[in-house]
Structure 1
Amino acid sequence: MIEGMRMDLWKCRYQSFEELYLYCYRVAGTVGLMSVPIMGIAPDSPASTRGIYDAALFLGIGNQLANILRDVGEDAQRGRVYLPQDELAQFGLSDADVMSRKVTDGWRAFMKQQIARARFYFDQAEIGASHLDKDSRWPIWSSLMLYSKILDAIEENDYDNLTKRAYVGRAKKLLTLPLAYMRSLAVPSLAL
């Protein structure tokens, strides 16, 4: 985790998703991994310990990707682009497009791909969330569902995360918490 924080001191561009994944792993995936022993694993869980740790890692990666996508415009103002350069290029985009803060059809297509990737990690995290100790599930489900709503907010803003900050309003947060609680009550059944 400390190495991830150090990366912010010298690195402000990521050539590929593999490089960005390493950053996400260090700054957020490690938090998920460190949380499992604190949260505990449900004694009746049929899942493997490895599967639960993988799900926790995926939640950290998904959360960090949501943060990155939410903050693209703010990061650009600081001269930072936490987006895979090679994938920007696949959509005919570059740092100059990010810095210009103009939403184009190419930008929207690029963002759809990035959001799909973040959702993939959230889907993988969901598989393990109900395998944690029952007293720990609600905060994990809340995190998973609220960070997913950041992605919804980007879509609702017509993929304008260059000039608008996607956020989840208080009312949506409050409505999400009971839903997360209900999800946390699920008995773990699927083995990981």
Structure 2
Amino acid sequence: MGEDAKRGRIYIPLEDLAKFNYTEQDFFKGVVDERWRALMRFQIDRARQFYTTSDQGITYLTSDARWPVWAASMLYGQILEVIERNDYDVFSQRAYVPQWKKLRTLPVAWMRSQVL
């Protein structure tokens, strides 16, 4: 999100910003305060609900499509964990999953694709 803010882009629904009294100007300035943290907790909770719901449908995909979808779901979920560990500061710290952790996640995703 920090990279998007620097490019003048915002992908968070404006009604969500308003709900937490956080402005577009705050976003573009990279303000990290309790309003932002509450907004991010809300967004992360929503994302996790979407992941939980969509993960249930992975079994309906063709067998060759399941592994990459499981991998994406798991890795994006890990990015949410990094955002939380960074105290929701997405402006000065890029949230990413290190290569070693990605490599550790892929076999687990493969196993899920075979049994779930």
After TM superposition, the score normalised by the length of structure 1 is 0.57
How far, CA to CA, are the matches of 1:115 and 1:101 in structure 2?
18
Question: Does residue 80 of structure 2 align to residue 143 of structure 1?
Answer: no
Question: Does residue 26 of structure 2 align to residue 103 of structure 1?
Answer: no
Tell me what 2:63 maps to. Answer: 134
Q: How large is the Cα RMSD of the aligned pairs?
A: 1.3
Aligned to 1:136, what secondary structure does the other structure show?
Answer: helix
Structure 2: gaps spanning 5 or more residues: none
Indicate the percent of aligned positions where both proteins have the same amino acid.
47
Flag the structure with larger Rg: 1
Count how many residue pairs are aligned between Structure 1 and Structure 2. 116
Tell me what 2:17 maps to. Answer: 88
Note the 1:16-165 alignment, pairs <5 A: 72-165=1-94
How far, CA to CA, are the matches of 2:19 and 2:80 in structure 1?
22
Aligned residue type for 1:118: A
How far, CA to CA, are the matches of 1:137 and 1:87 in structure 2?
32
How far, CA to CA, are the matches of 2:37 and 2:23 in structure 1?
14
* Deviant stretches of 4+, over 6 Å: none
- 1:113, CA displacement in angstroms? 0.4
In the TM superposition, what whole-angstrom CA distance separates every residue of 1:117-169 from its partner, at most 9, and x where no partner exists?
Answer: 11111111110112222233212211111121111111111111122111010
After TM superposition, the score normalised by the length of structure 2 is 0.92
Selected match of 1:171 from 100, 103, 106: 100
How far, CA to CA, are the matches of 1:79 and 1:140 in structure 2?
30
